[in-house]
Amino acid sequence: MTITELLGLDDLLAQMILAVGAAMVIGNGFAIFQHSRGKHPKGASGEFRAGRAWWFVAVGLLITLWGVGSLLTR
């Protein structure tokens, strides 16, 4: 038994990938939702870049699927 198997590092890495992807989807989805309602963070300056937010949602979804796939194939 190797140290990687003993500590479960393969599963931990897959879980971390899943968490990062889910955070990207949820965070940017919430920002898009709040922008559509006309709300913005207090003290925030600059414009809302919807294209960039949608891009991060798409990338986050891809990373999330990668994490789920990695966990299911174990």
pLDDT given at position 13: 94
pLDDT given at position 43: 86
Give the integer Cα–Cα distance in Å for 67 and 73: 10
The per-residue pLDDT string of the chain (74 residues; one tens digit each, 9 = 90 and over) reads: 788 778 888 899 999 999 999 999 999 999 999 999 999 888 888 899 999 999 999 999 999 999 999 999 97
Query: Which of these, 66, 65, 59, lies nearest to 27 by C-alpha position?
Result: 59
Do 60 and 22 form a contact (C-beta atoms < 8 A)? yes
pTM of the model: 0.86
Q: How do the domains of the chain map onto residue ranges?
A: 10-39+48-72
Nearby residues of 9 by Cβ (< 8 Å), 6 or more positions away: 3
Give the integer Cα–Cα distance in Å for 60 and 10: 20
pLDDT given at position 4: 76
